[in-house]
Amino acid sequence: MGRYIERSEHIARYLSVNYFSSLDAPNEISQSRQFVLQSMLFMVGSPVDDKTHKLQEETILYKIGLDPAYDFSIINNVKHARENANSARDLISTELYEAINKFYHFTLNYPKEVFVKNGLYDFTTNVTEMTAVLRGKIRGTLLHDAVYAIIMLGMNIERATQIIRIINAKYHDALKAQGSYGDKFSKSFEWTTLLKCAESYDMMRRLYKKTPTSISTLEFLILNPNCPRSIMNCLNQVYNHIKILHPSNRYDNQSTAFLIGKVRAEYEYKLVEEIEGNIQIFIEDILHNLTQISLKIEKEFFSF
């Protein structure tokens, strides 16, 4: 449930931020509608291979937002979140259940024509706001016990995964849409978009006080433990919540908690310079680690 809620939010935000920031982007490529639509498809895991193929804006928006035929669509994520909530209905609070249900009916009943014509902003804003409400209800109305820990585990693993996917997508975009002077890749406008997609732009400015570059952006979004959207922060949270499910001083090296601790320790002592040189490998690496953690959790806590 935590995973689906988190995922729907990231997709909604990615759609909205990319679409609207492209409207005031600095150069032709980053303004191009094709470029933005391709980036959206890349982010949800359905990249376009044939670059000459012309994408229809309305079709793509519908596909990612409201098309029940695609697993990655926002509507399907909300459906899954609600399905999970249904099966755990006795464990979660009525307030949380009703909020999820309201969210579900909102997405289900959102008129398709309005969404693709002029509802993109309205729809995605509502989705992000409703997910914020859900997070509030989870934190504020559930008992902070194993159920809460499982939801939060899902949420944080998913957040780390989505942030890394967004980094991946924007990294590719930055390669294509480079800046106009100096180190063109490092000064691409796409780093700003990336931070906005993670709702971290303002806080990044507050910390670094400079225009985002590749290195400062990656450091902030991956390694800074105080940034609530950073990979490091997510891993710390995951580690804290696994300890609720499996309290122990010393973990057996086959346990999920051991694996999480190991991955966390690796990033805790990593330098951004080590990442910057081979971003692609790093991205694949962290995705692999996150998948391993998910599989282990499933095996240890969900299959009896």
Partner 1 sequence: MLTKFYLKTKKFPNKCKIFISEAPKNRYLLGKNHFMTNLENQIFSSYQRNPELYDEIYDQKGDIKEVYQKLFELYGEHSIEDYVNLNAKAKSSFFNQGITFQVYGDNDSKEKIFPFDLFPRIIAPEEWDIIERGAIQRSKALNLFLWDVYHEKKIIRQGVVPMDLIGSSVNYLDKMNGVDPTGGIYNHISGTDVIKHNDGKYYVLEDNIRCPSGVSYVICNRTALKRALFGVFNHYQTHTVTNYAENLLELLESVKPKGVDVPTCVVITPGMYNSAFYEHSYLAKTMGVELVEGRDLFVENDFVYMKTIRGPEKVDVIYRRIDDLFIDPLEFRPDSTLGVPGLFAAYKKGNVTLANAPGTGVADDKAVYTYMPEIIKYYLDEEPILNNVYTYHCSRPDELKYVLEHIPELVIKPVDEAGGYGISIGNRLTKQEVERVKIEVEANPRKYVAQPIMSLSVHPTYIDESESFEQRHVDLRTFTVMGKDKEFVLKGGLTRVALQKGNLIVNSSQGGGSKDTWVLKK
Contact with partner 1 (CB under 8 A) among 26, 56, 58, 105: 105
Q: How many residues bind partner 1 (CB under 8 A)?
A: 16
| 97 interacts with partner 1 by CB under 8 A | yes
Q: What minimum distance in Å lies between the beta carbon of 135 and partner 1? A: 19
Phi, psi of 243 (to 5 degrees): -70, -25
| 86 interacts with partner 1 by CB under 8 A | yes
Of 28 and 90, the one with the shorter C-beta distance to partner 1 is 90
Do 159 and 234 form a contact (C-beta atoms < 8 A)? yes
Do 10 and 31 form a contact (C-beta atoms < 8 A)? no
Q: What minimum distance in Å lies between the beta carbon of 256 and partner 1? A: 11
In one letter, which amino acid is 187? K
Q: How far is CA 69 from CA 62, 152, 189, in A?
A: 10, 28, 33
Of 231 and 293, the one with the shorter C-beta distance to partner 1 is 293
Q: What minimum distance in Å lies between the beta carbon of 145 and partner 1? A: 11
| 98 interacts with partner 1 by CB under 8 A | yes
- Please, what is the Cα angle at 61 between 151 and 21, to 5 degrees? 85
| 301 interacts with partner 1 by CB under 8 A | yes
Q: Which two tokens stand for residue 252?
A: 């057996």
In one letter, which amino acid is 69? A
| 142 interacts with partner 1 by CB under 8 A | no
Residue 268's nearest CA partner among 238, 296, 302, 298 is 238
Residues near partner 1, by CB under 8 A = 68, 86-87, 89-91, 94, 97-98, 101-102, 105, 146, 245, 301, 304
